[in-house]
Each structure stands twice: as structure tokens, then as C-alpha cells.
Amino acid sequence: MASSSRIRELAKKLVQLSLDQEGRVEEAKVIEVLEALRSNPPRGHKSLLRDYFARIRREIAKCVARVEYAGKPDEEALQALKQRLTEHYGRSVDMELHENADLLVGIRITVGDDVYEDSAATRLRPLARALT
């Protein structure tokens, strides 16, 4: 048990070494970390690598906002959204735009594990629950 907590702490530190000034994952730094681990593998290096890669994936996901929409928002609204997300997360956030006809009306934004949705479905859900 102590070994797994030690591995988690080491993975956290390695992730911190892999981030740039803005808090974004930098490929060159990840390569440096992996080369250092390859040249001197610690005990439990497979578990360490699994934990490190899982954390790196989460960090990368925090920098990308998946924006789903029913009708494409105008450029001004998208720029305002990008600015608000950057302020909220304290780092620049890239946006991926995806049309989703299932939304009918509205927008859904996913950043890492965070999901923000304002759509007809979310507004009608409480009404549907109340009627059942």
C-alpha cells in the first residue's frame, strides 16, 4: 500500500515536470521524463508509467473544450466563450467544435471531466421528472 501511494506521488511530480509555464503539457518535457525513466527505471516502473500516462491524459483534456451545438454560434460568441474558459481554468483552452443534432437547441461544453450544458433537453428534464 505504501508503495502505491509512493508511486502516485512520484507520478504527480513527474506530471508537474511535464507542464509548461501556462500549465499545459509540453511534448518535449514528457519525452525528457520518459527518457529519464528509461535510463534509470524505478521499482514499480510499470505502475508508475500507467499512473503518469493517465494523469497526462487528464491534463491534456483540461486544455481542450469540446463544444457541441445544435446551430453553430457566431465567431464573436465563440471568442467570448474561449475567453471565459481561459479565465475560469487559468490557462488557454483550445476549442473543438462539433455539431450535435440531438441537442435541438443549445450548447454542451466538455472540458476534462467538467460538463456544462444549456439545451432544451436539460431545461425539459425537470418537467419530465415532475410528470412521471
Could you please report the per-residue DSSP string of 95-111? Answer: EEEEE-GGGSSEEEEEE
Which 8-state DSSP code applies to residue 73? P
pLDDT in tens, the chain (132 residues): 356 889 999 999 999 999 988 888 999 999 999 999 999 988 888 999 999 999 999 999 888 999 999 888 889 999 999 999 989 988 888 999 999 888 878 899 999 889 998 888 788 888 888 887
Domain assignment of residue 25, given as a range: 2-61
Task: Give the predicted TM-score (pTM) of the model.
Answer: 0.70
Terminal Cα-to-Cα distance of the chain (whole angstroms)? 47
- The domain tally of the chain equals 2
Q: How much is the pLDDT for 53?
A: 95
Q: 511534448: which residue's cell? A: 27
Q: How much is the pLDDT for 1?
A: 38
Do residues 52 and 89 share a domain? no
Task: Please enumerate in sequence order all residues whose Cβ is within 8 A of that of 101, keeping only pairs 6 or more positions apart, or say none.
Answer: 70
Q: How much is the pLDDT for 125?
A: 82
Nearest to 69 by CA among 123, 113, 114, 116: 116
Q: Which of 39, 61, 83 is the last residue of a domain?
A: 61
CA dihedral 80, 82, 84, 85 (to 10 degrees): 160
Do residues 18 and 73 share a domain? no
> What order do you get walking across the sheet with 64-69 strand by strand?
94-99, 64-69, 106-111, 114-119
Do residues 42 and 24 share a domain? yes
